Chains A and B, each alone.
Chain A
Amino acid sequence: MSLLKATDITKSYAGVSALKSVSFELERGEVRALVGENGAGKSTLIKILTGAVQPDSGVVELDGRAVIDNNPHLSRALGIVAIYQQPSLFPDLTVAENIALATEKQTLLRRVDWRARRAKSRELLARVGSDIDPDAVVGTLSMPQQQIVEIGKALGTNAKVLILDEPTASLTEREVQNLFRVIRDLRAHGVGLIYISHRLEEITEIADRVTVLRDGSLVETRSMQDVTRAELIRLMVGRELAAVFPKREVALGDVVLELRGRVNLTVRAGEIVGLAGLVGAGRTELAETLFGLRPAHDLEVLLRNQRVQIDSAQQAVELGIAYVPEDRRRHGLIMEMPVAANLTLADLQAIATHGLLDFTRERKLAWKLKEELAVKTVSIDIPVDRLSGGNQQKVVIGRWLATNPAVLILDEPTQGVDVGAKSEIHRIMGELAARGLAILMISSELPEILGMSDRIAVMRGGRIEGIVDRGEATQQRVLALALGTAA
């Protein structure tokens, strides 16, 4: 009997399927690696195992008994514990208090035995080879120390299944080895571990078996010994380039945007440069730096061969840089304002004379942009939050067209929009490139990157790992660069 068994797990969010009939078994004393591209379904699977979300169908069994009505509290009580990249501890409480919150019974009127509490923390931390002071305030600890506390906390709850999600992202080599020692020790004690990481070399070292997810489906589970890294990458990207991308051939103009320093990159007029990379590779950070939202310490920005200093979003706008952020609901649009006001917000000067708004001109401009981008809305006067995701995204793009930008930065432009709107947005991008805009597109979707880009810059750890031309780009090549395992 397996320790953990998930059968036919299916889950979709708002019609977009995240997991398709995934079945998964974990044995006692096994370290199982879970790999896949961004959006392959790893997080969703973990959330279902820990009860954070409910599957649409499928069963999770622990020790042969079905876990019914799972929720985070129940799964924890049963011994399924997840540790995330960002430790989820209470920063203002001490180590002992944090551990006690997970391990002691929660009754409001129980007297606290501080001595036992400290001793317990000390013992748990000793088991992972650490001598962190139980009275230390968690907020003062380093990231790896906090991770150790998380693991100690998990041990304290007698975890049977321990899920580690990118645990080494902020650890140094020595700390990683220390963590591996702890993992091996847990394995020897019969704990089942699920290890999620993009670092294939680590997986090779620690995992017994590896499961590959792709587009919400389980592709294969292999023994770690009989799989090479190249094979793993091939399994991860086996996605077909089914969608038709209306990439137009555009004659490239002069270099519009040039970056020097930490990142070396050029974008020409009419060119679409795709920024590929894994989550956390520093792509959004680069975009935010270009838009003046982050200080550019080690980056020189040249616009049309002129060195520019961009300290604020206003300056970026004035210089002709436009930015469509990743989370349009939170940062892109002002949801309670009408469509028209959102379309004209970035260039109020265009509809104003001496600061005085001209509503006729506003309606004209908004209408023109709406038509140009084929925004589907009954009226330009309704609040923008009544539009669909794809149409909202068109409004954000339209807003920037009004400013006549030279450089357009798009961060995950088609995330969470339906298929129809997606191809419309791709068509719009093609048209904008044809008009001579220099476009920098961040996308975690490899087919989109390969389909839309003239060149693909792959980022890893805040730097550019390699630049691939459209003709030579394959999914394997791009992913290998993103994972840092390119030959």
Chain B
Amino acid sequence: MKRETSILLAWIALQIPLALIAPSFYRYGNLRDVVLSNVPVLVAAIGMTMVILVRQIDVSIGAQFAVCALAAGLLAKTGLSMPLVAIAVLAVGAVLGFVNGALVAAVKLPSIVVTLAAMVVLRDAIRWITEGAWVQNLPVHFQWFGMGQRGGEWLIVLIAVAAGALFAWSLRFLAGGRAIYATGSDAEAARLAGIDTRSITISVFILMGALTGLAALLDSVRFSSIQANAGMGFELKVIAAVVVGGTSINGGRGSVYGTLLGVAILGTIGPALTFLGINAFWEKAIQGAIILWAVVMDAILAR
């Protein structure tokens, strides 16, 4: 059985107790909240899928998320129009990703160390600059992209779906996608086949940063203020979703479709527990068990 199929079945199995015990879970308002709160995780997880496919990791995306969200709010307050804010935030993320990627691919440092350092540096820089102050009094054109809640919600979901479809398609149909899989499977063999593995790795980190910027933007337009500690623990959620979605931590194997399922399963479990009347303390434990199950499956299938 394909990895993705087993994840899909697990997710469907989760629906059975929900449908029987708490059908109110499926009310429009609730489903909408569940989807919206998981959009940022999904968008960043697309980038993380590629990072893990090339056998790297980026633990700095939570901090990048905060930088991008704050940048979005501050830029909007200067009166900049929303399209320009969006472009600028994506660029900020891309630059942060580029720094990580260059240190990993050109200086050949381990990505876990590079991005851990980036995380600490960015978090402390934020604390130093903002002194913990939130960005408040966001302009009207910022919230929900100035389209009102209803329209804004639809736009957010639409953008996330478009990003998912675009990258799923690219990984399969673009030469660059093939090069990503080759690099992650066996970087040395890929290099000997004439693939520029260094550029591939840097590009993947740049895309990771830009997608983190997009995630931060799609998240912050939903609220009236932006917290200085936004995105705490975000990287863990994202990495967990990718791993649960069947992308091999050893690189070279995985898909955006699997990641979508990973986000779905981890994103549903929390609200589902509430609806089933199970103590919310169990949420983390169950999530942890799912992650462990996913990596064990990966190790067994790799044999």
Bound state CA distance, A352 and B172, in angstroms? 12
Interface size class of B (residues with CB under 8 A): 20 to 34
Q: Does chain A have a CB within 8 A of B15?
A: no
Q: Does chain A have a CB within 8 A of B195?
A: yes
Chain B residues lying within 8 Å of A317, measured Cβ to Cβ, are 194
CB-contact partner of B190 in A318, A334, A351, under 8 A:
A334
Question: Is B194 a contact partner of A313 (Cβ separation < 8 A)?
Answer: yes
Question: Is A352 a contact partner of B175 (Cβ separation < 8 A)?
Answer: yes
Kindly report which residue of chain B lies nearest to residue A399, judged by CB atoms: B193
Question: Is B185 a contact partner of A323 (Cβ separation < 8 A)?
Answer: no
Which A319-356 residues sit within 8 Å CB-CB of chain B? 323, 325, 330-337, 341, 345-346, 348-349, 351-352, 355-356
Question: Is A331 a contact partner of B188 (Cβ separation < 8 A)?
Answer: yes
Q: Total A-B pairs in contact (CB under 8 Å)?
A: 72
Bound state CA distance, A399 and B192, in angstroms? 11
CB-contact partner of A355 in B176, B185, B195, under 8 A:
B176
Bound state CA distance, A138 and B47, in angstroms? 44
Kindly report which residue of chain A lies nearest to residue B182, judged by CB atoms: A334
Question: Is B179 a contact partner of A348 (Cβ separation < 8 A)?
Answer: yes
Q: Does chain A have a CB within 8 A of B10?
A: no
Q: Does chain B have a CB within 8 A of A57?
A: no
CB-contact partner of A337 in B185, B188, B191, under 8 A:
B185
Which B172-230 residues sit within 8 Å CB-CB of chain A? 172-179, 181-182, 185-186, 188-196
Chain A residues lying within 8 Å of B174, measured Cβ to Cβ, are 352, 355-357
Question: Is A334 a contact partner of B176 (Cβ separation < 8 A)?
Answer: no
Chain B residues lying within 8 Å of A225, measured Cβ to Cβ, are none
Chain A residues lying within 8 Å of B192, measured Cβ to Cβ, are 291, 293, 313, 323, 325, 331-332
Q: How far is the CB of B232 from chain A (nearest CB, A)?
A: 36
User: Could you mark each residue 118-141 of chain B with 1 if its beta carbon is under 8 Å from any beta carbon of chain A, else 0?
Assistant: 000000000000000000000000
Kindly report which residue of chain B lies nearest to residue A329, judged by CB atoms: B189
CB-contact partner of A336 in B179, B185, B196, under 8 A:
B185
Q: Does chain A have a CB within 8 A of B245?
A: no
Question: Is A331 a contact partner of B189 (Cβ separation < 8 A)?
Answer: yes
Q: How far is the CB of B143 from chain A (nearest CB, A)?
A: 38
Q: Does chain B have a CB within 8 A of A404?
A: no
Bound state CA distance, A316 and B174, in angstroms? 23
Q: How far is the CB of B244 from chain A (nearest CB, A)?
A: 21
Q: Does chain A have a CB within 8 A of B253?
A: yes
Chain A residues lying within 8 Å of B189, measured Cβ to Cβ, are 330-334
Q: How far is the CB of A288 from chain B (nearest CB, A)?
A: 9
Chain B residues lying within 8 Å of A178, measured Cβ to Cβ, are none
Kindly report which residue of chain B lies nearest to residue A316, judged by CB atoms: B194
Bound state CA distance, A351 and B196, in angstroms? 18
Question: Is A345 a contact partner of B173 (Cβ separation < 8 A)?
Answer: no
Q: How far is the CB of B298 from chain A (nearest CB, A)?
A: 13
Chain A residues lying within 8 Å of B175, measured Cβ to Cβ, are 348-349, 351-352, 355-357
Question: Is B193 a contact partner of A335 (Cβ separation < 8 A)?
Answer: no
Kindly report which residue of chain A lies nearest to residue B192, judged by CB atoms: A331
Q: Which of B175, B176, B186 has the most CB of A within 10 A?
A: B175
Chain A residues lying within 8 Å of B101, measured Cβ to Cβ, are none
Q: How far is the CB of B50 from chain A (nearest CB, A)?
A: 16
Bound state CA distance, A346 and B194, in angstroms? 6
Chain B residues lying within 8 Å of A142, measured Cβ to Cβ, are none
Q: Does chain A have a CB within 8 A of B252?
A: yes
Q: Does chain B have a CB within 8 A of A140?
A: no
Which B111-168 residues sit within 8 Å CB-CB of chain A? none
Chain A residues lying within 8 Å of B194, measured Cβ to Cβ, are 313-314, 316-318, 346, 403
User: Could you mark each residue 237-269 of chain B with 1 if its beta carbon is under 8 Å from any beta carbon of chain A, else 0?
Assistant: 000000000000000110000000000000000
Chain A residues lying within 8 Å of B190, measured Cβ to Cβ, are 334, 345
Question: Is B252 a contact partner of A336 (Cβ separation < 8 A)?
Answer: yes
Bound state CA distance, A318 and B194, in angstroms? 9
Q: Does chain B have a CB within 8 A of A485?
A: no
- Supposing A334-B185, A337-B185 touch, asked if A357 and B173 sit within 8 A by C-beta, the answer is yes
Bound state CA distance, A102 and B148, in angstroms? 76
Q: Which 7 interchain pairs have the tightest Cβ spacing?
A: A317-B194, A348-B175, A352-B175, A334-B185, A345-B193, A346-B193, A334-B186
Given contacts A334-B182, A341-B178, A357-B172, 8 further A-B contacts (CB under 8 A): A313-B191, A325-B192, A345-B178, A345-B190, A346-B194, A348-B179, A349-B175, A352-B175
7 pairs of residues in contact across A and B, judged by CB atoms under 8 Å: A323-B192, A334-B189, A341-B182, A349-B175, A356-B173, A357-B174, A399-B193
